[in-house]
Structure 1
């Protein structure tokens, strides 16, 4: 992978990670609701079918509150961690987007179309510039983005 693609690839990967975290959080929240219903609903509100017999019958037993509560506590611990990670990733994404939004003119267009998945050759054709010039701009943008993100995430101490 060339170094001019690094910031774009990192941004895309970050967006995918955020999407995956959202899916996992949503799934854990659904599971939490299920356990809450299992220990609080009236008989017949949540059903389970028994397909082992010739005739399908519904069999539902409420889960004891203490067992359901244990499951809920475990899920809550996972959710706390995932939401914290999600918040950190959302902050990083916002910082990267802010950095990229500071690009102007041709720099902005090249960065934008790289995020859209266009190759440098496609961008050069689209803009009417040489491939070499677009590659130089893309590398310059990549260095700006990497430097900005690094300085934001890892600021140098004042005494250095």
Structure 2
């Protein structure tokens, strides 16, 4: 019995570690480079990490699950655009996030936009594919909505 319990804890622990290994970029410049190199769209997660209850719930129910981690590694470049109230933030990141909030007309949190960066005349453009937010039903329902957005525009 002790062996079974130990095995369950090891498996669950490794799944949690794998889900936490996702690389969330905070620099759009770096994320765009990765996106263009890998030909994967950007997943832009507009969040209030230290105050937004729905953002925290989306993180817990979807973004920190193994199912999401597996999907994300294959399909998108992850970008976290945070708007904290209590946590300090670098001025250049704050400026970048505010500009992107205006560009994507984000009015509430959480908002997740999918975008393909393209280069034209030496400038980077962000082609909007679609957006979503919190979707009830866990990772499978959320990923269903995300896949629908990605399949229409790619």
Band of TM-score, shorter chain: under 0.3
**Between structures 1 and 2, the one with greater strand share:** 2
Which has the bigger relative contact order, CA under 8 A and spacing at least 6?
Answer: 1
Question: Whose helix fraction is larger, Structure 1's or Structure 2's?
Answer: 1
Q: Radius of gyration: which is bigger?
A: 1
TM-score w.r.t. the length of structure 1 is 0.23
